[in-house]
């Protein structure tokens, strides 16, 4: 009996000690919660910190709220920008990227312009010399008795085809009456000319994409190994298609230059303004689309080609007008503001388009110069190897 009584007393003491420990833990948790609530009640203001009377606010009725208290709270509250550090840092980087786009884009455009100029001048300088060398080899090699060697190299065959295409198209262009074309276009209304110019731009892009395939097919058909089975229509049909393509594309460029010349020579300049506004429609068609890095590079190539083509058209218009005014330099200053206006609108449209495409698609500004850094050494190495 004594042992059972002692055991019962011991159990009662243990339960009393456990209850005391639980009360201590509950007291500590209440103290911590009071501290946390007191720290959370501190709000940021425009220069000082205030404690929110949480319990008092709960007990406060709707009748205690006033307009003065609302205005004072709105005038002294903070914005808590440090809680969204990553968000605002990203937005700041987007602003910096948009500011860097003009510099990086113009570096790429200048590099692409000189590449196009190199290819353009090659046709009128080095290509005739290469055609002449190929003709000399074609005429002298059979006389030397070297029957075992190949008559012409593949590059020389391509040079001869290019030369023949240029000569044939140049002779065919003599039959095109430019003056009749100019007066025919000048007699149209402004709306018709605007529609014609838009159609010419679309046709130019289609001709450029399909015409390059025609020329490549001609070169490969003329230079492919003889051992392969001939599953094509032959070199002559490909050559005729290439001549027809080059002739039609030359006519299209001439019509574009004539339309631009009419716009420059019009009295009210309304047609030139409408043609310039057509560039800004390009922003609507491209800015709100999904773009990857490769698509952005292709669009940059298209913009480089388009800008170089516009420079060539402006040069043709200026030369044509200078010829009509007996090369009077005073007339050049009359055309100079319109030329600068067309070039400035083209540059502004390209900058705005690329800036917002990189912003909406989270593309860095270095992507614009990446093609230039990768292609510049290759282009220079080709020229060094040629020399």
What's the pLDDT tens digit per position in 324-358? 888 888 888 888 888 888 888 889 888 888 888 88
Residue 6 pLDDT level (bands cut at 50, 70, 90): very low
Smallest CA-to-CA distance from 345 within 307, 305, 315, 319 is with 307
Place of tokens 């010349």: 261
Question: Would you call 12 exposed, middle or buried from its count of C-beta atoms within 10 A (0-12, 13-18, 19+)?
Answer: exposed
Q: What angle do CA 192, 193, 197 make, to 5 degrees?
A: 120
pLDDT at 160 over 90: yes
pLDDT at 387 over 50: no
Mean pLDDT within 38-58 = 47
Give the span between the Cα atoms of 73 and 45, in whole angstroms. Answer: 9
Residue 84 pLDDT level (bands cut at 50, 70, 90): confident
Predicted pLDDT at 75: 84
CB atoms within 10 A of CB 296: 19
| Tens-digit pLDDT profile for residues 192-219 | 878 888 888 888 888 988 898 999 999 9
Q: Where are the domains of the chain?
A: 107-376
pLDDT at 369 over 50: yes
Q: Are 261 and 320 in contact (CB under 8 A)?
A: yes
Smallest CA-to-CA distance from 308 within 169, 208, 221, 191 is with 208
Residue 49 pLDDT level (bands cut at 50, 70, 90): very low
Give the span between the Cα atoms of 32 and 49, in whole angstroms. Answer: 21
DSSP H helix total and E strand total for the chain: 13, 2
Q: Which residues contact 256 (CB under 8 A, 6 or more apart)?
A: 197, 200, 201, 204, 313
Residue 55 pLDDT level (bands cut at 50, 70, 90): very low
Give the span between the Cα atoms of 195 and 249, in whole angstroms. Answer: 19
DSSP letter at 51? E
Q: Are 154 and 212 in contact (CB under 8 A)?
A: no
Tell which wins on pLDDT, 324 or 245.
245
Average pLDDT, the chain: 76
Question: Would you call 2 exposed, middle or buried from its count of C-beta atoms within 10 A (0-12, 13-18, 19+)?
Answer: exposed
pLDDT at 38 over 50: no
Torsion angle of the four alpha carbons 8, 10, 15, 18, in this order, in degrees rounded to the nearest 10: -170
Note if the pTM is more than 0.75. no
Residue 9 pLDDT level (bands cut at 50, 70, 90): very low
Tell which wins on pLDDT, 167 or 378.
167
Give the span between the Cα atoms of 65 and 62, in whole angstroms. Answer: 6
Smallest CA-to-CA distance from 240 within 135, 165, 154 is with 165
pLDDT at 284 over 90: no
pLDDT at 370 over 80: no
Torsion angle of the four alpha carbons 176, 180, 181, 183, in this order, in degrees rounded to the nearest 10: 170
Give the span between the Cα atoms of 209 and 298, in whole angstroms. Answer: 12
């Amino acid at each position: 009996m004594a042992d059972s009584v002692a055991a019962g007393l011991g159990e009662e003491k243990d339960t009393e000690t456990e209850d005391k420990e639980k009360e201590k833990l509950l007291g500590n948790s209440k103290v911590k919660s009071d501290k946390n609530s007191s720290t959370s009640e501190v709000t940021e203001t425009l220069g000082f910190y205030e404690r929110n009377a949480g319990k008092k606010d709960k007990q406060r009725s709707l009748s205690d709220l006033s307009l003065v208290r609302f205005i004072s709270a709105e005038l002294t509250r903070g914005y808590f920008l440090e809680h969204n550090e990553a968000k605002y840092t990203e937005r700041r980087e987007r602003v910096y990227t948009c500011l860097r786009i003009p510099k990086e884009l113009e570096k790429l455009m200048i590099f692409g312009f000189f590449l196009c100029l190199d290819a353009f001048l090659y046709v009128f300088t080095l290509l005739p010399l290469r055609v002449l060398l190929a003709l000399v080899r074609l005429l002298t090699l059979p006389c030397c008795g070297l029957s075992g060697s190949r008559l012409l190299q593949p590059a020389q065959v391509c040079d001869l085809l290019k030369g023949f295409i240029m000569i044939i198209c140049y002779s065919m262009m003599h039959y095109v009456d430019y003056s009749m074309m100019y007066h025919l276009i000048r007699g149209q209304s402004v709306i018709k000319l605007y529609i014609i110019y838009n159609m010419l731009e679309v046709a130019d892009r289609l001709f450029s994409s399909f015409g390059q395939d025609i020329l490549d097919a001609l070169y490969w058909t003329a230079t492919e190994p003889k051992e392969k089975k001939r599953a094509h229509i032959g070199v002559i049909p490909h050559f005729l298609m290439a001549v027809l393509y080059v002739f039609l594309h030359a006519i299209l460029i001439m019509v574009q230059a004539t339309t631009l010349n009419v716009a420059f020579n019009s009295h009210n300049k309304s047609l030139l303004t409408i043609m310039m506004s057509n560039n800004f429609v390009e922003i609507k068609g491209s800015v709100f689309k999904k773009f990857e890095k490769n698509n952005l590079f292709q669009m940059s190539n298209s913009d480089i080609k388009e800008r170089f083509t516009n420079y060539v058209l402006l040069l043709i218009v200026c030369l044509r007008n200078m010829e009509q005014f007996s090369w009077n330099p005073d007339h050049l200053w009359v055309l100079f503001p319109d030329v600068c206006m067309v070039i400035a609108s083209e540059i502004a449209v390209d900058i705005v388009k690329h800036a917002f495409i990189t912003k909406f698609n989270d593309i860095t500004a270095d992507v614009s110069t990446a093609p230039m850094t990768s292609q510049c050494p290759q282009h220079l190495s080709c020229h060094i190897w040629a020399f």
